[in-house]
Each structure stands twice: as C-alpha cells, then as structure tokens.
Amino acid sequence: MKLITRDTDYALRALCFIAKNKDKVTPAPELVAKLKIPRPFLRKILQSLDKNGLLKSYKGKGGGFVMTLKPNKISILDVMRIFQGAFNLNECLLNKHLCPDIRVCILKKKIDRIEKYVVSELGSFKLAYLIE
Amino acid sequence: MKLITRDTDYALRALCFIAKNKDKVTPAPELVAKLKIPRPFLRKILQSLDKNGLLKSYKGKGGGFVMTLKPNKISILDVMRIFQGAFNLNECLLNKHLCPDIRVCILKKKIDRIEKYVVSELGSFKLAYLIE
DNA sequence: ACAAATGATACAAATGTGGTATCATTAAGC
DNA sequence: GCTTAATGATACCACATTTGTATCATTTGT
Ligand code: FES
Ligand code: FES
C-alpha cells in the first residue's frame, strides 16, 4: 500500500521547484531537466495543478508556471486530493452488500478514526516545510 | 484508497463465522451459502488462511476448517498482512531515484509516524471484537 | 513569420484486483 | 472397496488503475 502515488510525488517536487523560483516563471522544460520526470507525464501533472488552481500558467514563448499561493497555504493533502481523489479509507459504504454485517460497522468506526488522524496530519503538513 | 481490500474483508467475515462455530468443523459450502462470497474465490482465501496458520483444514467428507487460535489472539493487521502484504506506506525507499531529495525525507518521517499509528491501531484491534 | 511555450486529448504498456476453472487428493460411511 | 463430499494445487482470465507516451492545435514574445 502506498500512501502517496507517483503523480502526487512528482507534483510535490514540481511545486517545490516552482515555489523556489518565486515570481519567476518556470517553464516545463526546466522542470524536466532538473527533476528528471518524464516530459509528457510532467506536462499532464502541471495541467492538473493549473486546473485545480495551484498553479497559474502562461502560454507562448517565455511562458511557464508560477505559484498562485504561498507554500505555507498548500498542504500535502491538497495535492493528494487532486491526484488520488478524496481521502476515503472506508470504501465499504459503496458495496452495499457488505453492510448488513455489524462487525464491519465496528471496524468502520475504527477506520474512520484512523482516517481522521491521517487527514489531520497530512492536512497540517505544508509544502513550505519541504522547501526552507 | 482502500485500507482493507476485498479478500481481507472476505477473510475477516469467514474467520468470524468459523470462530462462532467454535470446535465444530465448518465446510466451505456452508460459508458460501451464508456469506455470499463467490465460491472459488473463497476457497482460495481459505487456503491462504490455512497456509498462514490461522485455520486448520480437514480434508475428505465431513471436512472443513476450524480456528487454530482464539479470536482475541488474531488482529485485523494479522489478516491484512496475509492478503495485502507487509504494511508499508512509504514505498519511496524502493525508488532510489527519488531519494536524493531532502524534502521527501522530511515527508518520509511524517509518513513513518502515520504508519506506526495505523499499525498500532489495527494490530490491537482483535477479531474477537467483531464477534461477541 | 518564427520559435517557444502550453492546451487538449487519445493511446498504450504494466501492474494489481477480483474472480473462474480444472483436476488431483483425501477421508467418512455404507 | 466404492462412492461421495470435502480440500489442495495451480493455471487462467477480465477488468480497472497506474504510469506513462504521442500528437496536434493554440497562444505569445521577438
Ligand atoms: S458500513 Fe459497511 S458494514 Fe457497516
Ligand atoms: S527516503 Fe526517499 S527521498 Fe528520502
């Protein structure tokens, strides 16, 4: 089980790099060179970050990406949610046929508590901590 | 993200049922009927539980499965480990190329703490709690 | 006009999950 | 011993997800 997937990891690294560049526009090719992320894959990731409002993009020559928020306003969880969907360790609710069983519900409460802990820990871990 | 996969869930349900039968031998067909788990899939799961020492199997007519341990000696984590492998939220160690980066290491520490918490919570949650 | 960048989108390989099918082996009970 | 009801072992398969790749259109600074 992975907690953080590859695209989230790439996204974090890209965000860190772009954040260090401050107001300077960072073009994707620079990220590819420095971070060794496969180019088309990175492009897709950057587009996602743009659509989700974490980056602002500039098209055309001299274009690229800049941060829209301060790094201390972005949490690991914010990035995870973009690439891995809403945090939901308890998928049991979906499979209706599993639910008549009480035992799963006791377990469900346990898992809910675990989930709350994880969400709170990752939600308070800001991108800024990864830069300094 | 799921914390518990389908086979682990099926395994937990099967174990609960078998545990309730105490020393009585429970044949797979009975489990199929009562728990509505696809037959060949359940068979595979029961074989895993047998190989990992949580169940003892009796072959031949009148055969089936019985528990080898008291339900308060088996944790959710024990079952998860059989079907989902060792708990390892931090897969980063494997991908060597990610590691020169300090930021991941700080994050890694955070994830390690999260993992310890999850392992401790699930390791102390015993099968017995699901039965009563 | 040209070059350098992003936008959009479709495709593809590798892996993981959930499930199926088959045949051999064992043991109880007549 | 024969039948029957059970497990053991193993190989296969369909689908979804992950991790990418490829292509072409569009925008913009010089
Ligand atoms: S919520 Fe699924 S069993 Fe209770
Ligand atoms: S352990 Fe992978 S970056 Fe530190």
pTM: 0.89
State the closest ligand 1 atom to the C-alpha of A95, by its place in the atom list counted from 1.
Answer: 2
Higher pLDDT pick, A128 / A36: A128
Domains: count for chain A: 1
Residue nearest C4 (alpha carbon to C1'): A61
The CATH number of whichever domain residue A21 belongs to comes to 1.10.10.10
Banded model confidence at residue B93, pLDDT cuts 50, 70, 90: very low
Nucleotide nearest to A40 (CA to C1'): D21
Interatomic CA distance for residues B49 and A121, integer angstroms:
34
Q: Tell me: pLDDT of B94 over 60.
A: no
Phi-psi region of A64 (alpha: psi -120 to 50; beta: other; left: phi over 0): left
The residue whose C-alpha atom lies closest to atom 3 belonging to ligand 2 is B99
CA distance B56 to chain A (A): 23
- Burial per residue of A34-67, b for 16 or more beta-carbon CB atoms within 10 angstroms, e otherwise: eeebeeeebeebbebbeeeebbeeeeeeeebbbb
Neighbours of B6 (CB within 10 A): 15
Q: Is residue A1 situated within a structural domain? A: no
Banded model confidence at residue A86, pLDDT cuts 50, 70, 90: confident
Between residues 69 and 128 of chain B, which touch chain A (CB distance below 8 Å)? 76, 84-85, 87-92, 97-98, 101, 103-104, 106-107, 110-111, 113-115, 117-118, 121-122, 125
- % pLDDT > 70, chain B: 89
DSSP 8-state symbol, A39: H
Banded model confidence at residue B101, pLDDT cuts 50, 70, 90: low
Token pair, residue A60, equals 């055309």
| Cβ A58 to strand D below 7 Å | yes
Q: Is residue B1 situated within a structural domain? A: no
Token pair, residue A15, equals 């965000």
- Supply the range of the domain harboring residue A44: 6-131
Q: Is residue B77 situated within a structural domain? A: yes
Tens digits of per-residue pLDDT, A57-79? Answer: 999 999 999 999 999 999 999 99
DSSP B66-108: EESS-GGG-BHHHHHHHHH-S--S-GGGT-GGGTT-HHHHHHH
